[in-house]
Amino acid sequence: MQSLNQAIDLESARMMALQNHVPTSVIYVNAIVGLLAAMVVGYAFGLNGRRQIFSMCVLAVAITLVLTLIIDLDRPRSGLIRISQQPMIDLHCP
């Protein structure tokens, strides 16, 4: 009986994890912070009098990758990173 209760609890926790998402406002705040960081770096390059193209490109790619990773991990059923449901299918079909 205890094993059945644990299986039911794990299934409930799994379904809640698939349904809960990062709030949209958090994603917007992350995007705004990334934009502000890029603006500050651009301003600093302007004060310095010369641009460093490599640094600007690395910053833009890093910010984009972090935001994409957060959104992708938040939605496990779609995107590049997917969670396999095969263990649950194996348990369901004898």
Comparing 18-32, 46-60, 68-82, the range with the smallest average pLDDT is 68-82
| pLDDT tens, residue by residue, 72-91 | 888 777 777 777 767 767 76
**8-17, 18-27, 53-62, range with greatest mean pLDDT:** 53-62
**Given a cut of 60, is residue 94 above it in pLDDT?**
no
d(CA 83, CA 45): 42
First and final CA of the chain: distance in angstroms?
20
Can you tell me whether residue 22 is helix, strand or coil? coil
Q: Averaged over 28-53, what is the pLDDT?
A: 88
Domain that holds residue 81: 2-92
Number of domains in the chain: 1
Is the distance from CB of 51 to CB of 45 less than 8 angstroms?
A: yes
